[in-house]
Structure 1
Amino acid sequence: MEIETPPVLRDTPKPTGERRGLVIVHTGTGKGKSTAAFGLALRAHGRGKKVKVYQFMKVPSARFGEHRLFEQLGIPIEGLGDGFSWKSRDLGHSAELALAGWSRAEAAVRAGEHFMVVLDEIMYPLRYGWIPLQSVLDCLRERPAHVHVVLTGRGAPQELVDLADTVTEMTLVKHHFQAGVPAQRGIED
């Protein structure tokens, strides 16, 4: 590792634009997309802002770590799906759940009652054609100006990347699954 000298002067111009709701996308093959979105939700909640989290691939009865904590903190989190496609017994039903879930999430975004709406793992039903991309793009363009929307999942469509204000691509460098280490409570769930 090479030691660096810390900067003493700002190397970017100070923004002068107006504050407004942002569209933030976390995508890529690396770990941390949902975790980053949940961190934003916690940060907003910590500032007294109203937050809602929708998880497109989790079942409504899911009790992962984020569900337990968000419940304790009073942050609503809603599972909209029936698990990942390889666990589904009926992909047609999975598609129906995703579309019905999108209807609820879209209504929340458009209503403008929340400072932030997280659409966790929405890229999967978008990529599978279960939710029309144009419907999501229209909702994001037409949402109230103060609403922040965070979208996660691998393979964000280019149209969504183009529309977003901030896009982070998580890059897989190394993953414990590759060494045969299974998912662990508190890390993956």
Structure 2
Amino acid sequence: MTDRNTRHKASMEKLKARVDEKVASATEQRGLLLINTGNGKGKTTAAWGTVTRSLGYGYKVGVVQFIKGLWECGERNRLEDDPNLEVVIMATGFTWETQNRDADTQACQAVWKDAECMLADPDTYLVVLDELTYMLKFGYLDIATVKAALENRPSEQTVIITGRNAHRELVAMADTVTEMQEVRHAFNNGLQARRGIDF
């Protein structure tokens, strides 16, 4: 047992040294570009967790929901009365239900104007562009337009983009990319989405 404890202590000392070195070398302070992508669930939920964190410190937050806006959203229900939170919803629902590319494009462009205002506001600490990846995939938004808004945003502003199949140019410019990987999904086994758990 003593040998194991000695090895453990030596291992933790090495780990601490590596962590301390990384902490010491992290000297830059600015807003970040974060992407939650992948085919697993939890991308939007993770973004709402960060929204809650920012609101908890009294920061101003903007959320733009591009696809799931018509769905119930427990996080939005809980937080929408916070005076520091602005939520804009595309409100056309899922594109496979509308099946109208022109109408979806117009709705997306209208909501993107709100997103651009948030991305230009130096008082908005965090902007979430929920399901933005689909707007690029379906051609409702141009990647150059999105990149320009992200590159010209206030330096202290953090942006979270969610959705599957994040555009490679967004991934290339992001500070942190998290890929949610699906191992098993209840829905694929006939289980309905559960209120308070999935939405």
TM-score with structure 1 length normalisation? 0.90
Find out whether 1:131 has 2:138 as its counterpart.
Answer: no
User: Does the Cα contact within 8 Å between 1:117 and 1:147 map onto a contact in 2?
Assistant: yes
Q: List aligned pairs for 1:30-45, cutoff 5 A.
A: 30-45=40-55
Contact 1:70–1:77 (CA under 8 A) maintained in structure 2: no
The DSSP-based 3-state class of the residue aligned with 1:24 is strand
Structure with the greater alpha carbon radius of gyration: 2
Structure 1: stretches of 5+ with no match in the other structure: none
Deviations 1:12-65 (A, max 9, x none): 321332210100000000011001100111111111111111101134x65421
Gaps of 5+ in 2: 1-7
- Range moving further from structure 2, 73-82 or 163-172: 73-82
* Structure 2 residue corresponding to 1:11, chosen from 18, 36, 51: 18
Superposition deviation, residue 91 in structure 1: 2.5
**Equivalent residue for 2:5?**
none
Deviation digits for residues 139-159 of structure 1 (CA, Å, limit 9, x no counterpart): 111111011111000000110
Aligned to 1:67: 76
Counterpart of 1:156, as a letter, is A
Counterparts of 2:91 and 2:101, CA distance in 1 = 11
Length-normalised TM-score, structure 2: 0.86
Percent identity reads: 37
1:81-100 alignment runs, 5 A limit: 81-100=91-110
Matches within 5 A, 1:108-119: 108-119=118-129
**Deviation above 3 Å: which 4+ runs of structure 1?**
5-8
Number of corresponding residues:
184
C-alpha displacement of 1:165 = 0.6
1:150-189 → structure 2 map (5 Å cutoff): 150-189=160-199
Q: Are residue 50 (structure 1) and residue 55 (structure 2) matched?
A: no
Q: 1:46 corresponds to which letter in structure 2? A: G
Calculate the aligned-residue CA RMSD, in Å: 1.7
- Bigger Cα displacement from structure 2, 131-140 vs 64-73: 64-73
Distance 1:176 1:95, change over 3 A: same
Query: Using the alignment, how far apart are the partners of 1:10 and 1:181 within structure 2?
Result: 46
Question: What is the deviation of 1:87?
Answer: 1.2
Task: Indicate if the aligned counterparts of 2:55 and 2:61 stay in contact, CA closer than 8 A.
Answer: yes
Larger helix share, 1 or 2: 2
**Which shows bigger deviation, 72-81 or 14-23?**
72-81
1:142-157 matches, within 5 Å, as 142-157=152-167
Contact 2:88 2:111 survives alignment (8 Å): no
Indicate conservation of the 8 Å contact 1:62/1:79, yes or no.
Answer: no
User: What amino acid maps onto 1:104 in structure 2?
Assistant: D
Q: CA deviation at 1:10?
A: 4.2
CA contact 2:66–2:131 (8 Å) conserved in 1: yes
